[in-house]
Amino acid sequence: MSHGARVIRTGVSSAGPAAPPPVTVASSSAGSDAELMDGGYFRSCAGMLKVAQMISLLIGFISVNNSPWTDYSAYSFFQIVTMCDLVMILFFYIMHIFRVYRKLTCVSWPLAEFLHYLIGTILLLIGSIVAASKSYNITGLVAGATFGFLATILCVISMWSSYKVSCITQSTSKYR
């Protein structure tokens, strides 16, 4: 039994008997809104980019955490920045998977995500530079700084692609 959108005719035209209503695309899209998770986001470029960011941040955190430290303040800052970025990226990833942005429309989610990437990328770049300069060729610390730089590059790519998509979408929809 279909619960999609239906066309109800209130009268019959003088042209003859009423034809059955055409099948519309709206009935198939109503079912996709009822789904709990967005399965397409897992395989999208933005979703895979977020997973790559989370993995590189986690590897950077673990490699610094399991190494002997030479400077407490530099590496504690690096660990705090990597964990905060990891938690925020995981938050936005879950938000996209469960489509929370559709329910909470009072927040500008693209702007919030852009500001997170902007601030997080700057702090991660600073933390990675400081960690790399204070590593003294200790393998785990060098690996942590390297994965920090990799996460920084991935964050810049994500920030650039989301800004580029929003600018292109706004500029093309304006002239239609």
In a domain? residue 57: yes
Supply the pLDDT for residue 169.
59
Domain tally for the chain? 1
pLDDT at residue 168 greater than cutoff 70: no
Compute the average pLDDT of residues 59-70. Answer: 91
Supply the pLDDT for residue 172.
56
3-class SS letters over 52-104: HHHHHHHHHHHHHHCCCCCCHHHHHHHHHHHHHHHHHHHHHHHHHHCCHHHHC
Task: Give the pTM.
Answer: 0.73
What band does 27 get if pLDDT is binned at 50, 70 and 90?
Answer: very low
In a domain? residue 83: yes
The answer to whether 49 and 143 are in contact (CB under 8 A) is no
Supply the pLDDT for residue 53.
98
Supply the pLDDT for residue 26.
45
Residue with tokens 């304006």: 174
Residue 57 belongs to domain spanning: 45-101+108-172
Residue with tokens 């590593």: 135
In a domain? residue 29: no
